[in-house]
Structure 1
Amino acid sequence: MQPRAPKLLEDIRSAAEFVRVETQGLTLQEFQHNRVLRQAVELNFEIIGEAMRRLEKDDPATAARITDYRRIIAFRNVLIHGYDIIDPAIVWGAIEDDPAPLLADVHALLNSVV
């Protein structure tokens, strides 16, 4: 694993945990009506995607060990470049996909460094 990879993995872990914790127990309607939460969640998805993009560039072998890493990067691109057309239901769909598999992959990689 490249030296910068653990920091990027930690950024991914932290942002994914934020999304998981802050949206737990909410409905789509509650999410749609809470602008501050929507923007915070979108920002954390952008952080996840940007950290993943950097990980892919710096350490492609480590990035490849994360399930759907290319899809995560693509979602970041949609959020950043299509911010004006993002439907909260699309973001909610990413929340419903559950960050648990991503978190499991990231935790395994971080534990391999220790």
Structure 2
Amino acid sequence: MSLSAYELLQHIKDESVYLIEHSKGISFDDFLNDPTLIRAYSRSLEIIGEATKKIPSDFRNRYPDIEWRGMAGLRDKLIHDYFGIDYDLVWDVIQNKIPKLKLQLDVLFEDFK
């Protein structure tokens, strides 16, 4: 069963909210020293990337300001380079890209109303 663009976007938003909420008050060192956080954050980014890849390109093209390609590319990097995850990159994405993505998704969801 394939999911609709709306359902895929909801998954992306849910994971974005999770990352924002669960990284509050966490330092980069805390992140690096907690294998559970590393796995959880990496998994959330994988889900975001996988859902992004499944959103039809014509839909993604209507929202060019969202970094669709970057999200999908990060997922590929996490999946294929699992013995060499760039933790600086993961942390940067969580701290700087995900909050922006969440705001963009809030606007996008307004279009569905």
Question: Conserved in 2, the CA contact under 8 Å of 1:31 and 1:38?
Answer: yes
Please state how far the C-alpha of 1:96 moved relative to its aligned partner.
Answer: 2.3
Count of residue pairs the alignment pairs up? 109
Partner of 1:89: 88
Could you tell me how far 1:89 is from its partner in structure 2? 2.1
Query: CA deviation digits over 1:53-86, x for unaligned, max 9?
Result: 101xx2x232231521101110010001111111
> Where do 5+ consecutive residues of structure 1 fail to align?
none
Q: Retained in 2: the 8 A contact 1:20–1:98?
A: no
1:104 aligned residue: 103
Shift >4 Å, 4+ stretches = none
User: Which consecutive residues of structure 2, in runs of 5 or more, have no partner in the other structure?
Assistant: none
Aligned counterparts of 1:72 and 1:98: Cα–Cα separation in 2: 10
- Give the superposition deviation at 1:110: 1.7
1:46 paired with 2:39, answer no
TM-score, normalization by structure 1: 0.87
Partner of 2:59: 62
The percentage of aligned residue pairs carrying the same residue is: 25
